[in-house]
Structure 1
Amino acid sequence: MTGVETRTVSRDSLFLLANVRIEHESEQHRVRVRNLSDGGMMGEGPLQVQRGNRVEVELRNIGKIGGNIAWVQDQRFGIAFDEEVESHLARKPGGESTIAPTDSAALSRAHRAPPLPEARNLRKV
């Protein structure tokens, strides 16, 4: 990839978990959502997919969305959604998540961002 920004759609950088199901498979895979826009997402996880695979993604506060694998690089991949979604909804805290965890380890809260430092504790550089 080059350092030139060629994207025309804004996206949110965030850390969410989602379930992805590859077409013609019954198993759901838990993946990290690294960024999300109304038209697609970048995910990360040990998912064996190839460009062009059909998938179904389940996102918090949004639900299930169909899409295609647009690119794959190591354990990261891009999904182009079939329809645009309201990606900002995934950032909102949900009461009960619509995504069922695959095991108890999936409930880890270790990936929350630390609180912002107080202004009086900052120093000018």
Structure 2
Amino acid sequence: MTEDAPSKRAGTRDSLFLTALMRLGSETRLREVRVRNLSEGGLMVELAKVAEVGTPVALELRGIGDVTGKVAWCTAGRIGIALDSPINPKLARKPVSGA
């Protein structure tokens, strides 16, 4: 992560803890990851794997659905993802209905 990375962030980050399914680059399987913060334009996930900046990412986020983006930064156990299209992060906080 570069020194100026936090200054490039757009929008407010919503700290949370939820799980999502993620596909990194050309991987064929989805892996479960922990989402630690979320905003309209990006998110941070916990992931032990190192990923190159610019690697495409596909995620399934609860309450939001399928989203795509690219790795913006990667550091020990965490990856920042810049989303291709803005999302409404509040939808991820809505309770899951059992109906």
Question: Which TM-score applies when normalising by structure 2?
Answer: 0.85
Unaligned runs of 5+ in 1: 97-125
Unaligned runs of 5+ in 2: none
Count of residues in Structure 1 that have an aligned counterpart in Structure 2: 94
Matches for 1:2-81 after TM superposition, within 5 Å: 6=7, 7-81=9-83
Question: Which TM-score applies when normalising by structure 1?
Answer: 0.69
The letter of the residue matching 1:23 is: G
> How far apart in 1 are the matches of 2:21 and 2:50?
14
Summarize the Cα distance change of 1:47–1:95 in structure 2 as closer, same or farther, 3 Å threshold. farther
Is the contact made by 2:21 and 2:30 (CA closer than 8 Å) also made in structure 1? yes
> What residue in structure 2 maps to residue 115 of structure 1?
none
Structure 1 ranges of 4+ moved more than 3 A: none
The letter of the residue matching 1:84 is: P
User: How large is the Cα RMSD of the aligned pairs?
Assistant: 1.7
- CA displacement at 1:45 relative to structure 2: 2.1
Identity %: 44
Please identify the structure whose Cα radius of gyration is greater: 1
The letter of the residue matching 1:42 is: M
